[in-house]
Amino acid sequence: MGNTIQNKKELSSRLKERAILEGFVVSGIASIPGSSRLKLRTKALERWLENHYHSEMKWMEAERRKNVGLLLEGAKSVLTVGYNYLSEEHDTNTNFKVGKFGQGKDYHKLIYKKLKNVGKWIDSEIEDCTWKICVDTSPLLEKAWAEEAGIGWIGKNSNLINKKFGSWLTLGFMILTKELTSDNQSRSLCGKCEKCIEKCPTNAITEPFVINSNLCIAYHTIENRQKTFPESIETNLNGWIAGCDICQDVCPWNKSVPFNKSVEAKPKDWIKSLNDESLNWEDKQWELNLKGSTLKRIKPWMWRRNIRAILQN
């Protein structure tokens, strides 16, 4: 294995540097089981579930989400990374709007591949360390652990916000069986600002930090499997057919975020060409377009439903 790193502080620093070399813009480390704040976040999740604010997203109920130790035996640390998906070329089609997170390459695969490379580095540099990669399909209290690792704070729109990169970040995690040096937890810098709450057209942010998915445009355009939308959603779509960025677009922390100039973040051509005629695209055309996209969770019939809802209002 060669000269492995033994010093905990040096190891932690080099691990975070390695993550940045793989293309992440921020990285931080938290120790398991975490601080008392993490317990508060877990209690907040339980209240959110009790209120049925997760709607049909039953996977949010997974018990493992409340205990990171259940995801990897002997877990001692969590490496958190953030990938900047903001592209200068993001499509600004006002008739058929797509959330910026979904315009480039599938971030699940992108983040997993980069973290897999970090894992290879761990295998060659760190003795006796088992690791597990988690992207947002894993039952992990993601934003709470990211806050714990110091890469940002949970804003009033429930998104993680970083001082430099705002909330235009997708998150990735590595759970490790190695005890590492943790970073200082982030503190909220939202202050008295409530622009995200004020500008949400459906009042989905029922109180600071709490989103009622039943009222959220992003939830309905991506997760809702019903043939039609509730009237309160349909009349407020305002062009959104996949996701919704309103609460992020109005956030002051998102006004001067540096762009990701890589091809990974560049919007796919078919997203730029969405128009009335897209309603007539066959399933095969949609499947071809959605290959390698985060948005393939939205099935072809759902795209047609979403487009039809826009055209009818």
pLDDT in tens, 279-301: 999 999 999 999 999 999 999 99
Whether 283 sits among the annotated catalytic residues: the reply is no
Residue 59 confidence (pLDDT): 54
User: Which token pair is 85?
Assistant: 């998906």
Token pair of 65 as six digits: 């989400």
Cα–Cα distance, 34 to 77 (Å, whole number): 9
pLDDT band for position 227 (50/70/90)?
Answer: very high
Confidence of residue 62 (pLDDT cuts 50, 70, 90): low
> Residue 309 corresponds to which tokens in the numbers above?
């809802």
CA 71 to chain centre: 19
Cα separation, 216 vs 138, whole angstroms: 22
Name the residue with higher pLDDT: 275 or 41.
Answer: 275
Residue 61 has pLDDT above 70, yes or no: no
Q: Identify the band that residue 2 occupies on the pLDDT scale cut at 50, 70 and 90.
A: very low
Q: Identify the weakest region by mean pLDDT among 65-74, 90-99, 110-119, 199-208.
A: 65-74
The enclosing H or E element of 169 equals strand 169-176
Which of 88-92, 127-131, 247-251 is predicted with the least confidence, judged by mean pLDDT? 88-92
Pick from 110, 106, 104, 135: which is nearest to 261 by CA? 104
Q: Which two tokens stand for residue 236?
A: 């407020």
pLDDT cut 70: percent of the chain above it: 94
CA dihedral 295, 301, 307, 310 (to 10 degrees): -110
Q: What are phi and psi of 259, to 5 degrees?
A: -80, 150
> Are 93 and 47 within 8 A, CB to CB?
no
Average pLDDT, the chain: 91
Q: Annotated catalytic residue: which of 91, 128, 136, 269?
A: 136
Burial class (CB in 10 A: 0-12, 13-18, 19+), 108: middle
pLDDT of residue 109: 95
pTM above the 0.85 mark? yes
Contact 42, 166 (CB under 8 A): no
